[in-house]
Homo-oligomer: A and B are copies of this chain.
């Protein structure tokens, strides 16, 4: 008996399978997945851990009529393999045909574009309520990991869902890991439930009104099918807690769960990365700088909301930071507001955060940090066009988000030296809420001394007639543009603004008799620093052009193409200057 993955076009193709066939299928899926992951990279551990659970889901439930919502959806690879997209996992020429997350543009089996954590239960309650209003009967399933469950909106929805008093099924995929280790006492509780085969007292899910089903071996097809069948068709909220092994079947991923949560291409036998970057990085600079500050002052605290590895806090570095390192779990709101408490209590909090995830704590930045004028520092990573390029993880909205909150200083360094000086200033002598935007792209050094009056623009090259005001990594674009213009007999003034949350009126006043001021920013134009400049110069005769990215969601783009499409190449800028 053989299974040919190429024959699986829809879940109905596996409905008649025997348990033995489902076993074989799972083995084939896992083997194919490992081959693609080793060659291509991706979310290794999360997907290898849910092969059996995904097969069982599609065996028991009837998608797309039944609705399955994946939380974060970084674990949806096997789901894609079973729903008409197998080529993207077995044919290297098609590896990039699919995104790394669920994607309604790809398939009717995918209900939402998702990439942030903790949304699945809320989405499922909406689907369930819509079903009830129209009198539908389908099952609604949310598939959520233990780490995602600790996020506030997952807990809000976990609390709300039983109130619907109709069918909603939550599959809690407990692989005992977040991206890094889990944080919070919920995880002691889950551990106690696993230890007692689901029978521990003080069951939090029963307390919230769920029928609770525990599956001790969440990689065993027979147990999973049994549990999912018990949950299916019920007219109430059911939570199925499955105990799975992250990275199952791949020794290096089983052994190194944090590293193999997400990994680039690797050698399947040794687990060694096959594409190793030796370039210096802002991440390392940040962490080394933080460790220096921590040694100098025990009140300096580094925080992260569940993504330490995204900006250099490896397990070794976290160990070096000791009690001065805090990971609150994937809980940006809690983390930002804890920073407010730390600052009020006299500590010096510095939270590292990925641009797209800071969106989840907008109110906490405004209401807890800014209104209270607390000297906490936030360092943003994966910013701008060089950041993450999945539609759900874009890094070019943070300027318009952060720089328009009153009372927050938003600084954008253009070089490693400026970056470190900004960190030194805000961590060493904190005075006001400050956000520092780690530049995207390769590390850039500048050998001019850093002027630390960061609320003022820096004149990089003094010229006349045309001024180029370019922030962060785009300062390099301005300098290239300047070279082109000089070749045409124009010597422009090149300015590094450094601060995005206010304009340097003294500097701008000197540009009022210029012919043209061009702002260039590594973010969307709307709500950005360029529009502040345009508004300030609105009553002067000088022309102002704001360059940056169009306000839109892009997906897996080419940087060069996007630069060109937005008129951001030096040649294009020189043309309009």
Residues of A within 8 A of B (CB): 67, 69, 104, 111-116, 119, 122-134, 150-157, 159-160, 162-163, 183-186, 188-189, 201-204, 206-209, 298-299, 301, 323-324, 326, 328-329, 331, 333-334, 337-347, 349, 359-360, 362-364, 366-368, 370-372, 391-392, 397, 400-401, 403-407, 524-527, 530-532, 534-535, 537-539, 541, 543-546, 551-553
- How many chain copies? 2
Given contacts A185-B159, A341-B127, A371-B553, contact A360 B359 (CB under 8 A): no
A157 lies within 8 A of B338 (CB) = yes
Contacts of A401 in B (CB 8 A): 362, 401, 404
Say yes or no: A406 contacts B551, CB within 8 Å.
yes
Q: How far is the CB of A168 from chain B (nearest CB, A)?
A: 11
- Chain B residues contacting A397 (CB-CB under 8 Å) are 366, 404-406
Q: A546 to B538, alpha carbons, bound, how many Å? A: 8
Are A334 and B553 interface neighbours, CB within 8 A? no
Whether B204 lies near A208 (C-beta < 8 A) is yes
Question: In the complex, A526→B359 CA distance in Å?
Answer: 18
A541 touches B541 (CB 8 A): yes
Decide if B524 touches A340 in the complex (CB within 8 Å): no
- CB closest residue in chain B, given A376: B126
Residues from chain B with Cβ under 8 Å of A537 in the complex: 538
**Extra A-B contacts (16), CB below 8 Å, given A111-B344, A204-B208, A370-B553:** A69-B341, A113-B372, A119-B364, A122-B340, A122-B341, A125-B338, A133-B323, A152-B152, A156-B334, A159-B184, A160-B334, A160-B338, A163-B185, A406-B553, A531-B531, A539-B544
| Residues B204 and A339 in contact, CB atoms below 8 Å apart | no
Which residues of B lie under 8 Å from residue A124 when comparing CB positions? 341
Do A372 and B333 contact each other (CB < 8 Å), given the known contacts A525-B535, A534-B534?
no
Q: Given A152-B152, A152-B156, A370-B553, is A534 in contact with B527 using a C-beta cutoff of 8 Å?
A: no
A543 to B544, CA, bound (A): 11
B363 near A156: Cβ-Cβ < 8 Å: no
Contact B157 A372 (CB under 8 A): no
Contact residue among B130, B150, B206, B532 (Cβ-Cβ distance under 8 Å from A341): B130
Contact yes or no, A129 B202, CB < 8 A: no
Residues of B within 8 A of A125 (CB): 334, 338, 341
**Most-contacted residue by chain B among A162, A301, A341, A541 (CB, 10 A):** A341
Q: How far is the CA of A291 from the CA of B3 in the complex (A)?
A: 55
Q: Is the CB of A368 within 8 A of B123?
A: yes
CB closest chain-B residue, reference A362? B362
Which B residues lie within 8 Å of A347 (CB)?
Answer: 126, 129-130, 133-134
A367: contacting residue among B69, B115, B155, B337, CB under 8 A: B115
Give the complex CA separation of A328 and B324 in angstroms: 37
Residues of chain B within 8 A of A400, CB atoms compared: 400, 404, 527
Q: How many angstroms between the C-alpha atoms of A298 and B345 in the bound complex?
A: 52
- A123-B344 in contact (CB<8A): yes
Give chain B residues whose Cβ lies under 8 Å from the Cβ of A184: 156, 159-160, 163
When the two chains form their complex, are residues B364 and A363 in contact, meaning their CB atoms are under 8 A apart? no
Once A184-B159, A208-B189, A363-B360 are accepted as A-B contacts, the answer to whether A340 and B126 lie under 8 Å apart by CB is yes
Q: How far is the CA of A392 from the CA of B544 in the complex (A)?
A: 36
Residues of B within 8 A of A526 (CB): 403-404, 527, 532
Q: Which residue of B lies closest to A349 (CB)?
A: B126
Contact A189 B160 (CB under 8 A): no
Query: In the complex, how many angstroms separate the beta carbon of A58 from the nearest chain B beta carbon?
Result: 20
Minimum CB distance partner of A331 in chain B: B156
Q: Give the docked Cα–Cα distance between A406 and B342 (Å).
A: 34
**A527: B residues at CB distance < 8 A:** 400, 403-404, 526-527, 531
Q: What is the bound-complex CA distance between A543 and B543, given in angstroms?
A: 10
